[in-house]
Every structure is written in structure tokens, then in C-alpha cells.
Amino acid sequence: MKDIIYVYDKAGNKKPMEVVFTFQLDDFNKNYIIYKEVNSTTDEYFAAGFNPNKDYTELNTNLTDVEKKFIQEVFNRLIKENNGGEA
């Protein structure tokens, strides 16, 4: 069973999101979450920093360009691993 979180869009609508991956980047001493809309028909994913002691209740989407680059690299590697080596 996948973990489900809820986020609010810019209009204030509560949207269910599926947790795809969580991981820690030691370079930043932070934890990150990658998530997507539940039942999404697109390949759009979102990323945020989070405090693992607060169960995803305080997501931080204000990521630096360097953090975004590292997150993209981790995401690509995890997707490749889950697809049997195919990206």
C-alpha cells in the first residue's frame, strides 16, 4: 500500500498525492520526498524537503537549484533501478 499525503494547490484545494520515494541527501543533511497526484495520467512528479519527525506535515518546496539538481539525479537513478535498468 502506498503512502498518501495531502497538499493544497494555489487555489486552496486539498489534493491527495502518492508518495513515490523518500530519501536523505547527506550533502545537505536534509530529507526529501518525491510525490505525484493519485491516479495521475501524466509523468509529473513533485519534490520537497520534509522533517521525518513530522510525517510529511511540513513540506518545503523552496529548494535551491543545487538541491533540485541532486534530487533530479536521485530520481533518475531510482526510476532506472525500478525499471530494471531502463530509464
Cα separation of 21 and 43, whole Å?
A: 15
Please determine, for residue 14, whether its predicted confidence score (pLDDT) is greater than 90.
yes
CB neighbour list of residue 15: distance below 8 Å, 6 or more residues apart: 6, 7, 8, 9, 37
- Containing 75, the helix (H) or strand (E) segment is helix 65-82
Cα separation of 27 and 30, whole Å?
A: 8
Q: What is the pLDDT of residue 79?
A: 81
Q: What is the pLDDT of residue 47?
A: 95
Q: What is the pLDDT of residue 86?
A: 54
Cα separation of 59 and 17, whole Å?
A: 13
pTM above 0.85, yes or no: no
Cell numbers at 17, concatenated: 498525492
CB neighbour list of residue 51: distance below 8 Å, 6 or more residues apart: 31, 58
pLDDT tens digits along 27-85: 888 999 999 999 888 889 999 999 988 878 889 999 999 999 999 999 999 888 877 65
Domain ranges of the chain: 4-82
